[in-house]
Amino acid sequence: MQIKSLSYEFSVCKVADYTQVNLDSDYCFIAKTDQEKSLVCISDEVPANVIERDDGWRAFRIQGILDFSLIGILSKISTILAEHKIGIFAVSSFNTDYILTKRENYRKALAALEKAGYQILE
């Protein structure tokens, strides 16, 4: 399986609303619940109406389109990273999964996945 390294730095945010979110960005993940409005975006694009933010995240994605019938893909990756004491923040899109780790653990995460047999695409 291939893992694509993304070159951006990301921020995980809580926002007042989505009016200032750059929806034309290459990467923008939003989640709304009865308790919060969340946003994961490129750090240079964090909107002014942010309530809380956590910077310093790097991301990679599972390359290709994952069929919904596939089981355990994210579980296997998260287990490998957990064994190396690397925390993750996962985001899923219709096509695939994105895994974020803190900047200081990013290269270590990619190395662990490569050692486990994943092909890393820079």
On whether the CB atoms of residues 15 and 34 are closer than 8 A, the answer is: no
Give the chain's domains with CATH numbers. Answer: 2-121 (3.30.2130.10)
On whether the CB atoms of residues 60 and 110 are closer than 8 A, the answer is: yes
The pLDDT score that the predictor gives to residue 73 is 78
The pLDDT score that the predictor gives to residue 72 is 65
- pLDDT by residue for the chain (122 residues), tens only, comes to 899 999 999 999 999 999 999 999 999 999 999 999 999 999 999 999 999 999 999 999 988 766 556 556 788 999 999 999 999 999 998 888 899 999 999 999 999 999 999 999 98
The pLDDT score that the predictor gives to residue 67 is 59
The pLDDT score that the predictor gives to residue 68 is 59
Residue with tokens 């975006």: 41
The pLDDT score that the predictor gives to residue 69 is 60
The pLDDT score that the predictor gives to residue 74 is 85
On whether the CB atoms of residues 60 and 98 are closer than 8 A, the answer is: yes
